[in-house]
Amino acid sequence: MTIIAPSILSMDFSDTRSQIADLERSAAKWMHFDVMDGHFVPNLTFGPDILKAMRRSCSLLMDVHVMIEDPLRYADVFLNAGADIYTFHYEAISLQMAIELAQKIRAAGKKAGISIKPKTSPDVLFSILKEFDLVLVMSVEPGFGGQQFDPGALEKIERLKEERQKQGLEFLIEVDGGINQKTGHQCVKAGADVLVAGSYIFKQDLIEGVASLL
């Protein structure tokens, strides 16, 4: 079954309590955090304190996606703050460091994820896929919410699904960026397991928005 991971990047932070309550009543299973440092991407968002607060008040799985220059340095910070999944970018570090970081995350009892930008081919990950529990395909250029879906992501999802089967692996395929009812269903058809949606969910009734993606 498809997993829906609402992105709190689009949450109204003047009314978090009622929105969290709605999300917990919805069919969403995960909560997605877009962590940006203003360097790796041109925007600045959440730190670990927001994650800690959400961890205390919400029972959903905490899916943390760091768009930062030094994901190794901050891994312990976010893992200790409550991340269940820690996803970092292939483009941020070397291949060997990516392997070492994935092993560190798993050794901490958490799930390791790796993400690729729209211009990065999924093929660059094939030699290290066994190290990861999740691969996140960005269907917009990371940095800001509300962008239009890049249809090139569909081919990447299909390629990853094929390679997963070829290698006999079980990592989840997640997609983030421009997800709505139409694009979300296209991604699931291509092989996506997890849909991240922000503005689409939070700009309507949350429960109905989540349900429409299933």
Residues serving a catalytic function are 34, 176
Residues 122, 136, 66, 57, Cα dihedral to 10°: -170
Asked if 133 and 112 touch (Cβ cutoff 8 Å), the reply is yes
Asked if 131 and 117 touch (Cβ cutoff 8 Å), the reply is no
Count CB atoms within 10 A of the CB of residue 73.
Answer: 9
Residue for token digits 């990861």?
132
Residue for token digits 């999300």?
23
Q: What are phi and psi for residue 108, nearest 5 degrees? A: -85, 5
What radius of gyration, in Å, describes the C-alpha atoms of the chain?
A: 16
